[in-house]
Amino acid sequence: MVNVNFNKERSLELSPPDYPKGVRWIKRIIIKRDSNDWSVRYQPKAGIYDKKNVAKLRLSYGEHGFLYDEPVQVVTPSTTSDKEFEGIGGFQRNSAQELLEWEFTIVDVVEFDSALERRIFAFETNHIFAPRVGNTKIDIIYGVKEAIKADPFELDQTDDNAVKSFINRAAADLSESERNSIFKTVRKEFGKFANLKPLDGSLANKLAKNLGLQFAGVKNKDADGIAYVKEHGDSKTLYYDGLKMSLKHFGKKVTVYGYIADPTPDKLAGDRAEWLEKFNNLVDFHYLVVSQASGDDIATTRLSAWCPFVFGGFLPQDITPIGSDNTPKEAGLVDENGRAFNVVDLKKVA
């Protein structure tokens, strides 16, 4: 092992402890690195770019050594680890030090007012440390989601101000537009209303797959038929893609499932009814096109002409727990009023 000759007094002089409200500085110490637990369970970041960043940090240490005018790594007295301390800030620096075979390092020992303050601070450390690697948008999004899911409770997903405050603090070094983007991304998975599930195209397709439904044409190889999941009942891409896919499979019907991107308790039924009205208008448009081309009147066309589009129901988004077993109010496909929707069995498309 390599023993770097650390100078704690110089570190305190050139980089005195300066921590935000909610964080209490206890002491700065030179400590054996194996006294600190830097396990991934304490890492608040997504860690997607860690290998590349660790390599950069290793080179920085090799060229510049320990930078005394920059804040040190941060740990807190252990509550869940067998080791003396749990890592808070400096995970990737620890990995770089491991590669360099450092036996000791300098750390600040701190305590926190709450679990949420601990989580936020783990991001705030990356605003100022050097050598360091900053937080990415993916890291912040991951951190917000973990705070919302935490047990015991840390962050109230129904409180826009609380969620935005977390983002503003954790991503203070990112631009306002980037922070707004992070908020919108989080809201796609964790809506303002805890019992209503927001969706976007990707999440909707994933939910359809989990329900055993077809989606994106014939994307689900484990499901039958042709189907699309759409945010808008009158989607123009649905009309073109659906007709093309149906003709490719000799006129097979195309089932269309709907969803509401940002559902609210007082508007969910109305938004679904509006979606269905637009879908019916799309079907009417198709019959008008066929009527114009064939010369038949619209009434005759509606009775006899081919139209592949069939409404298949709405994805379940009201997850209000019901009964002693907390079963979600909507577990399968529903109609515009949230009642169970019966789907006609589809034959598999070859």
Any idea which residue has 């100022």 for tokens? 128
Q: Provide the pLDDT confidence category of residue 2 given band limits of 50, 70 and 90.
A: low
Q: Which residues of 272-298 are buried (b: 16+ CB within 10 A; e: fewer)?
A: beebbeebeebbeebbeebbeeeebee
* pLDDT, position 349: 43
pLDDT of residue 194: 83
User: Mean pLDDT across the stretch 19-36?
Assistant: 94
pLDDT tens sequence across 140-171 = 888 899 899 888 888 998 899 999 999 998 88
Q: What is the pTM of this model?
A: 0.63
CA quadruple 224, 225, 229, 234: dihedral, nearest 10: -170
Nearest to 72 by CA among 100, 97, 93: 93
Confidence band, pLDDT 50/70/90 cuts, at residue 56:
confident
DSSP 102: B
- Find out whether 97 and 61 touch, Cβ atoms under 8 Å: yes
Rounded to whole angstroms, the Cα distance separating 155 from 159 reads 8
Q: What percent of the chain has pLDDT over 90?
A: 61
The two tokens of residue 168 are: 């503003």
At 196, the pLDDT band (50, 70, 90 cuts) reads very high
Q: Considering only CA atoms, which of 319, 333, 208, 185 is closest in space to residue 263?
A: 319
**Could you tell me how many helices (H) and strands (E) the chain has, helices first?**
11, 10
- Looking at every residue in the chain, the average pLDDT score rounds to 89
Residue 46 is predicted with a pLDDT of 66
pLDDT class of 202 with cuts at 50, 70, 90: very high
pLDDT band per the 50, 70, 90 thresholds, residue 346: very low
Evaluate the CA torsion angle 54, 59, 65, 69 in order and state its sign: negative
Query: What per-residue confidence (pLDDT) applies to 151?
Result: 81
Residue ranges of domains in the chain: 8-189, 201-328
Encode burial over 101-115: b for 16+ CB neighbours within 10 A, e otherwise. ebebbbbbbbebeee
pLDDT band at 319, cuts 50/70/90? very high
Whether the pLDDT of residue 348 is over 50: the answer is no
103/90 Cα distance (integer angstroms):
16
Q: What angle do CA 229, 231, 234 make, to 5 degrees?
A: 95
Average pLDDT over residues 26-42: 93
CA distance linking residue 156 with residue 194, whole number of Å: 9
Pair 245, 217: CB distance under 8 Å: yes
pLDDT in tens, 253-291: 999 999 999 999 999 999 999 999 999 999 999 999 999
Which top CATH class is 8-189?
Answer: alpha beta
| Alpha helices in the chain, H assignment, sequence order | 8-14, 50-64, 91-99, 115-124, 137-149, 160-170, 176-189, 201-210, 236-248, 268-294, 298-304
Least confident interval from 108-112, 188-192, 232-236: 188-192
Q: Is the pLDDT of residue 342 over 80?
A: no
